[in-house]
Amino acid sequence: MKLIVSATIIAGILSISVFSQSIKPKPTTLPAGIATWSGEYSDKFLNNSIIKARLKKLMGTKSYDEFIESFETLAPIAKDGSVLFASGCLIHACTQLESAIAINFKNNTVHAAIFNTEKPTRYFNERRSKAPQAIIDWATNLDNIKTNK
């Protein structure tokens, strides 16, 4: 009888352990209707409480503040497939200090980057996902300008 009770308890513990490991936290949702934001100015991203919270969590306070500081000039949001992209720069310092944001609304991931001619470009990607091509192209273009290619 003791053997059956012990086996039942062990089986119960193992099944709870396996079940709890398979539960993954659901990522925060994106704003409703975000897929239609193409053509809007990038401050629509930056002023949205959901996106702002995700950026702060992704980047940390210091990097987030630098990111926002270098987003003084705004550009329209562009759409490429399921990715929305926008960039901005520090007034009178475009191509020297810039930031970019991309949101993949299909994969529910937020991506950001900070370009500074004095430092390597820093990339921030949720869930260790790959930076979208729009951010890679943006950074490559700025690197080419920096090196006069």
User: Residue 42 contacts by C-beta under 8 Å, 6 or more apart in sequence?
Assistant: 71, 74, 75, 76, 77, 86, 87, 88, 101
> In the predicted model, is pLDDT for residue 23 greater than 70?
no
106 in helix, strand or coil? coil
Average pLDDT over residues 76-94: 96
The domain spans of the chain are: 28-146
Convert the pLDDT of each residue in 24-78 to its tens digit.
455 679 999 999 999 999 999 999 999 999 999 999 999 999 999 999 998 999 9
> In the predicted model, is pLDDT for residue 22 greater than 50?
no
Res 69: pLDDT? 93
